[in-house]
Amino acid sequence: MAGGTTPELYVEAVMLLGGAVIAAPLFKRIGLGTVLGYLAAGLIIGPIGRMISDGEEILHVAELGVVFLLFIIGLELKPARLWSLRRDIFGLGLAQVIVTGAALTALATLMFDTGAAVAIGFGLALSSTAFALQVLEERGEINRRHGRKSFAILLFQDLAIVPLLALLPFLAPAAAESGGNHWIDLAKAVGAVAVLVFAGRYVLNPLFQVIARSGAREAMIAAALLVVLGSALLMQVAGLSMAMGAFLAGVMLAESSYRHELEADIEPFRGLLLGLFFMAIGMSLKLPVIYANWLTILLAVPVLMAVKAAIIYALCRLFGTEHDVSVRTALILPQGGEFGFVLFSTAVAMGIFDDDTASMLVSVVTLSMALTPLSVMLGNRLVREDEPEDMDEDFEGAGADVLMVGFSRFGQIASQVLLAGGSDITMIDHSADRVRAAQKFGFRVYFGDGTRKDVLEAAGIKRAKIVAVCTQRKEITDRIVDLVQSEYPDAKVFARSYDRAHTLELRARAIDYEIRETFKSGLEFGKKTLEALGRSESAAADIAEDVEKRDAERLRIQQADGIYAGGHMLHTRPVVPEPLTKPLREAKVIDTTDGAGAESLLEKDHS
């Protein structure tokens, strides 16, 4: 008997893996995203190709992908950061569920009785946590402002599934009289959360320490899976969602020293099962129901997405969110969600509506998911520009002899020299992408805006002997220099200048040292080119040294005569530089590397 089922199981596994391997990269390549690829693969394997008939069974297993996804997200969220999102979670999230649910309920009453309309309206008000977060993660937008808004709304929706499920018995045609156990259910839920919080604080870290000391790598992976599945199961027994249990476990371990190792252990399971989850959704589509109700579905999907997007946008604006962020948030969350599947199946079991209605609703939700990558692309086209990635400012351990503001290419090179020389540096940068990238290479860079006095204070400027301003934009550099000189006059200021005019402006501010960002590299480039053309190394070095001296002399004269101020030429008295020690042929040099666009003529022969 086993021999008949085992080969079939292997065949199904090969088909699912083959579908994922082909569809995900293909859809990613054409710009539609891997999620839509998984859905398409599931549709072909299931309803269209009929290679696998039991999509529902696979969906139950694949839901673990959502569980693992929320555990990893929890690992990224320290409790302090979660607390900082409380307004979006319990304000914006609550408003979204209530307002969207009420609006969709009103539309559903056109076709269904009141009880069914409420179940349908609030079921469709929930967006897909797995789908939306996968899209955000794929696009690297989970930590941008619209990503955080979307996450806050989704998190409240996951919490809302509990009271919504508790509401269903009251919507049933013959509401059950056994309503006296709600307080017991609530107590079980609170108790489960308390157990999880206690375990996270006092049990899990010692457990991981013992396993880590043993050196058994496979035991660490098993422990990670045990934590995720155990916490998820505990919450399910208490009547909450498994995903919420995994999320809370992740939050409890967010400050653990084993956070990165846990994330690395869980990530392969998360990716595989989440892909399987989307394939199972595609496989569970019932094509006969779609054929029978194609006109209703064709109208319902765009109406659902338009209503949800409009309400989310309006609420975001009402809560003080910028237009661009509101647009992006609205167009990430217009779809129905996987918790809607749970709500609809429970409603069928209670007789609120029939199985055909549930199948039609599942089709609407699934098709809205399939269209989400397109709505996200629309959102990106409608907004003016990319907003910066959001990140928490945390200056724990900051403070050193050198405070470096700006960690782009220039700062990265300069910092390596300082670190190699044994100096301590506190480095801050306002790009979260750059901060994360630097951390991957072992640099400790703090996230913060160097134009703010409170950030400089937190980064330890009062302790710093030198403030190295290595920012890229001229106006930002000027603001930081002015702030440091006015508020911290004892600190020496070293700055990266943008071009020749900017150098003169910084010298006029009497900073301690400045250097043009491309000057030295341009000299070295010219020297190496001369060598390649046949000049000896020493001759090329002498010429480069002369050019550097001439440049310094021109700057000195221009500074003394006030030829440049604020980037504008005030008068044009001819500058006569010191002669070169070696003759040069007549040449016209366009100074484009400095960005000033100025021309300077090298005299014919000064020997």
Domains of the chain (ranges; CATH) run 2-175+182-382 (1.20.1530.20), 402-497 (3.40.50.720), 520-602 (no CATH)
Residue 314 is predicted with a pLDDT of 95
198-215 confidence digits (pLDDT tens): 777 777 777 777 777 777
Percent of the chain whose pLDDT exceeds 70? 79
Residue 521 is predicted with a pLDDT of 80
Strand partners, 429: 447
Could you tell me the pLDDT band of residue 435, with boundaries at 50, 70 and 90? confident
User: Region 233-241: what's the mean pLDDT?
Assistant: 75
User: Region 589-595: what's the mean pLDDT?
Assistant: 39
Nearest to 499 by CA among 484, 477, 482, 527: 477
402-405, strands of its sheet edge to edge: 445-447, 425-429, 402-405, 466-469, 492-497, 513-516
Judge whether residue 601 has pLDDT over 50.
no
Residue 472 is predicted with a pLDDT of 83
User: Region 226-252: what's the mean pLDDT?
Assistant: 77
User: Region 270-282: what's the mean pLDDT?
Assistant: 77
- Phi and psi (nearest 5°) for 493? -115, 120
User: Region 446-457: what's the mean pLDDT?
Assistant: 82
299-334 confidence digits (pLDDT tens): 999 999 999 999 999 999 999 888 888 999 999 999
Residue for token pair 């476990």: 249
Residue 302 is predicted with a pLDDT of 93
Residue 308 is predicted with a pLDDT of 95
Neighbours of 564 (CB within 10 A): 22
| CA torsion, ordered 434, 439, 441, 442, to nearest 10 deg | 140
Residue 532 is predicted with a pLDDT of 83
Structure tokens at 509: 């501010």
Could you tell me the pLDDT band of residue 253, with boundaries at 50, 70 and 90? confident
pTM here is: 0.57
In whole angstroms, what is the distance from residue 391 CA to residue 61 CA? 34
Judge whether residue 391 has pLDDT over 70.
no
Could you tell me the pLDDT band of residue 587, with boundaries at 50, 70 and 90? very low
Residue 557 is predicted with a pLDDT of 78
Residue for token pair 């806050």: 152
Listing DSSP states for 156-201 in one string gives HHHHHHHHHHHHHHHHSTT--S--TTHHHHHHHHHHHHHHHHHHHH
User: Region 39-66: what's the mean pLDDT?
Assistant: 71
CA 455 to chain centre: 23
Judge whether residue 589 has pLDDT over 60.
no
Residue 416 is predicted with a pLDDT of 82
Residue 101 is predicted with a pLDDT of 94
Question: Can you give the C-alpha Rg of the chain in angstroms?
Answer: 31
Could you tell me the pLDDT band of residue 386, with boundaries at 50, 70 and 90? low
Residue 459 is predicted with a pLDDT of 84
Out of 219-223, 573-577, 593-597, the most confident range is 219-223
Structure tokens at 209: 């320490």
Nearest to 217 by CA among 175, 257, 272, 258: 258
User: Region 537-550: what's the mean pLDDT?
Assistant: 84
Nearest to 252 by CA among 196, 323, 183: 196
Least confident of 70-84, 309-323, 514-528, 582-596: 582-596
The CB-side HSE value for 356 (13 A sphere, CA atoms) comes to 6
In whole angstroms, what is the distance from residue 414 CA to residue 279 CA? 49
